[in-house]
Amino acid sequence: MKKKNEKNEKLDQLSQHTEDGRGHKLTTNQGVPINDNQHTLSVGDRGPSLLEDIIFQEKMTHFDHERIPERVVHPRGSGAHGVFEAYESMAKYTKADFLSKAGKKTPVFVRFSTVVGFRGSSDLARDVRGFATKFYTDQGNYDLVANNMPVFFIQDAMKFPDLVHSIKPEPHHEMPQATAAHDTFWDFASLMPESTHVLMWIMSGRGIPRSYRMMEGFGVHTFKWINDKGKVTLVKLHWKPVLGVHGVVWDEAQKISGMDPDFHRRDLWEAIEKGQYPEFELGVQMVAEKDEHKFNFDLLDPTKIIPEEEVPVKIIGKMTLNRNPDNFFAETEQVAFHPGHIVPGIDFTNDPLLQGRLFSYIDTQLKRLGGPNFHEIPINRPIAPQHNNQREGHMRQQINRGRTAYDPNTLADGYPAQAKEKDGGFTSHTEKIDAHKVRARSKSFTDYFSQATLFYNSQTKAEKQQIIDAFSFELGKVENEDIRKRMVGQLTQVDKGLAEGISKNLGFKTPAGPQKPVQRGVPADANPSDYEPLKKKQKVKIDPALSMERSLKKTVKTRKIGFLIGEGVDEESLLKMRAALLAEGAVVEIIGTHLGEFETASGKHLKADKSLSTAGSVLYDALFVPAGKRSIQQLKGQGKALVFLNEAYKHYKPIAMEGEARELLGMLHFGNRSTTELEEDGVIVQEKGHSDLALKFTTAIAQHRFWYRTGVDEIPA
C-alpha cells in the first residue's frame, strides 16, 4: 500500500510539469495572457518593428534555442567557396564597394540547404531550399540570406515559430521526417491564406530541384540600396543559374531518396572536383523610391514578387563556385549567416518578416555556436580589419592589447575612432515615421491569392498537372478530412480547375469556396472585416519567368548520361557517342551488367563506372544503349536493364539506341511504335553508322524532358 502511494505521489509530481493548452488562453512563459500573437509591435502598420516587443522576443528566443547544436531549420546543408565578379559599376545606385566597378572580384562562401528535415534527411524532399551567400567584401561581410523561392509562407516574423512547429515532425511521435505531408502543417496552412502563393511554388518542380546548380535564388525581401548622395533605390535580388532552372518529377525524387539521399550534395561536390564550376548571375529588380506605391501589391509584403514582366531583372555580376570545403564541420556546418550583416550602401526596409529576422538570426548563432565570438571562427572571419571595444566572452581567440575597452577615451587618443560617412562609415537611411505604436498589418497585405493565380496561369499544361499531383499527394497524407476540404476550398480562390483536379484525386466534391472565416490567425479583439482577403486585378496575366519549362536553357553541360552495356559492346558506337557528349560538356558514366572490365566486340577492354545493381535510371539525365550483338543479348536477359529504360521513359528523359539495341524495343512498354513517333517523344533509334545520331541525341538532352509523351501512365516501373 505504501509503495502504491509513493507511485501516485511521483505521478502527481510529474503531472505538475505537463501541459495541455486546450480550453486555455494563450500566455507568455510568465503567464501573461497574449491578445495578439499574429503581429510584431511596429511603428504604424507599415513601419519598423520595435525592440521593446517582449512578446516577440520571448517567443523567438525560445524557438531559436530549441535545437542543440543542430539548426532548428536548415540543418542539412552543402557548401562551396567561390568568387563574385561585378559586370559593371552600380555606384549610381549603391555605395557597396563590391559592386563599385566592373571586374571587381569578391570572395564568397555559399551554403545550400533544405529547410524542414534533420541533418540525416534526404536531399530530395519536397521543400524550400536555402541559398545563403557570404560576401567577404573590403567593407566587411555582407550576407545575402536567400531561398530558391522568391516568396515566403508568412508576412510577419511573429508567426515563424508557429510555421516551423507545424511543418516539423509532429511532437508526440516525431513523424514524419522532412515533409509537409501531414496534418499539422496543412491545418496551419489552411488557416493562413497568406501561405497560398509560396505553396504554389513548392508544389511545382521548384520544390524538388534537379541540382543546387540548377535552381534560382531570391533575396525574398525588398531591400534599400543607397548611393553616396543618399538617394534610395528599392531592390529585389535574384541568383540566376547559368545552366537554367530544372527539377525532377516526384516519382523520381522518391526513388533517388532511396538510392542516394546525398544526391544534391554529391552532385555539387563532384561538379566542382571535375572543374565544372557552378555559375550564378546576380540580377536586381530596381524601383525608384518615389514609385514604391505604384504597384497593386505592397513591396514590403514578403509573400509577393515583382513580376519580371513589370520590372525586368538587370544582370549585374556572376558568382562562380570553384572550391570545395576542406572540412565539412569547420566550414559548411559552422558558417553563420545573418541578414543583418550588411555593408554601407545597403539597408533594410520595414518588411515585418525581415525586421524579425534581424533579431532571430543573431540570437540563433549565439546559441548554436557557443557565444558572441562566432565571428572569429575562420569561415566567418571578414577580410576587412576589425577594431572595436568588444572583449572576452566564450571561446575568445583575439588577443587585444592596451588598457582601454571603452569609447570615448583619451588614454588611447580616442581610438578606435568613429568613421565619417565620407570615409566609409555605415549610416542608416534617414526615414521619417509619424505613426502610432501598434500591433497591426497594413490592409495592403491582404491580397493572398492574386499572385498565386499569376504563378499557376504562367505554368505550362504539364507543370500545372505536376502542381495538382503534388497537392494531391500532400493532402492525401492528411488524416483529417476537414483539413483536406478546407485547404482545397482555399485553392478555389487560385483556380477552379486546380481545386477540381485535387478534389477529384482526393475523392470528394470540390468546395464552393473557402470556409469562413478564411483567416483564423487574427488578434483576439480584431475586426474580422479588416482581415477579409482582397483579390486585386493583376497588370500581368502570364509571366514566362515563373515557368521552368518556358525559361529552358538549351545546353547539355554537366548533364549526366548513362551508357548501358554488356560484354561484346561495340567499341566504335560507344566511343563515338561518348566523344560527342563530352565535347558538349556532358558527363558520361558506363553502366555495366557487372562491375570491372568488359571485352568489346573488337577484343579491347574498357571499365564500367557503375553496375545495374549499384545505379538507377533516376540518377541520370538521359540513357544511351550502344550497338553490339552480344552486349544486347546480355541486356535482354537483365530485368534491371529493361527497368532502367522503362523508368527513364516514364520520367520523360531522352533515350538513344543504336544498331542491335533496337532489338530491346520489343521488350519495352513504349517500344511498339514507329521510329518517327519515338523520335518525337525523345527516343532516338538508328542503325549503326548514322551520322546524325549524336546530334539528335544532344538536341534532345538539351530539351531536358519530353513532358507530352504518350503512354507514360501505363508503364508500371
Other CB atoms within 10 A of residue 398 CB: 11
Number of domains within the chain: 3
Domain boundary among 350, 380, 405: 350
* Domain assignment present for 383: no
Within a domain: 642: yes
Same domain, 82 and 110: yes
Residue 425 lies in a domain: no
Does 330 lie in the same domain as 231? yes
Q: Tell me, yes or no, whether 636 and 518 share the same domain.
A: no
| CATH code, 277 | 2.40.180.10
Q: Yes or no: say if 25 and 33 are a contact pair by the CB < 8 Å rule.
A: yes
Are 563 and 571 in contact, with CB atoms under 8 Å apart? no
How far is it, in rounded angstroms, from Cα 639 to Cα 133?
45
Give how far Cα 626 sits from Cα of 555, 659, 663, Å.
22, 7, 12
pLDDT for 331-369, tens place per residue? 999 999 999 999 999 999 999 999 999 999 999 999 899
Which pLDDT does position 491 carry in this prediction? 97
Q: Domain check: are 124 and 203 in the same one?
A: yes
174: in domain: yes
For residues 157 and 565, give the distance between their C-alpha atoms in angstroms, rounded to a whole number.
55
The pLDDT tens digits of the residues spanning 414-430 come to: 899 989 888 889 999 99
Q: How far is CA 441 from CA 199, 444, 487, in A?
A: 21, 8, 23
Query: Does 484 map to a domain?
Result: yes
Q: Tell me which residues of the chain have a pLDDT lower than 70.
A: 1-19, 68, 517-520
pLDDT of residue 640: 96
Q: For residue 173, what are the domain limits?
A: 76-350
- Examine the domain organization and report whether 578 and 463 are in the same domain: no
Q: Is the Cβ–Cβ distance between 156 and 351 less than 8 Å? A: no
Model pLDDT, residue 15: 55
Same domain for 605 and 577, yes or no, is: yes
- Boundary (domain end) residue, out of 334, 350, 366: 350
* Residue 386: strand, helix, or coil: coil
Within-domain flag for 259 = yes
Q: Is residue 153 domain-shared with residue 194, that is, in the same domain?
A: yes
Q: Is residue 699 part of a domain?
A: yes
CATH code of residue 589: 3.40.50.880
Q: Which residues are catalytic?
A: 74, 147
Same structural domain, 570 and 489: no
Write the CATH number for 511.
Answer: 1.20.1370.20
Both 243 and 285 in one domain: the answer is yes
* Cβ neighbours for 346, distance < 8 A, ≥ 6 positions apart: 94, 96, 142, 223, 224, 225, 226
**Quick one: which of 250, 248, 221, 246 has its CA closest to 235?**
221
CA angle 317, 318, 322 (to 5 degrees): 155
- Residues 197, 264 within the same domain: yes
Question: What residues have CB less than 8 Å from 17, skipping those under 6 apart?
Answer: none
Are residue 243 and residue 133 in the same domain, yes or no? yes
Mean pLDDT taken over the chain: 93
Answer yes or no: do 147 and 240 share one domain. Answer: yes
Write down which residue in 350, 372, 400 finishes a domain. 350
3-state secondary structure of 172: coil
State pLDDT tens for residues 662-679: 999 999 999 999 999 999
Q: Show the cell assigned to 75.
A: 540543418
Rounded to whole angstroms, how far apart are CA atoms 492 and 497? Answer: 8
Residues 6+ apart with CB under 8 A from 383: 107, 136, 137, 138
Contact status, residue 215 vs residue 269, Cβ threshold 8 Å: no
Does the residue 97 lie in any domain?
Answer: yes
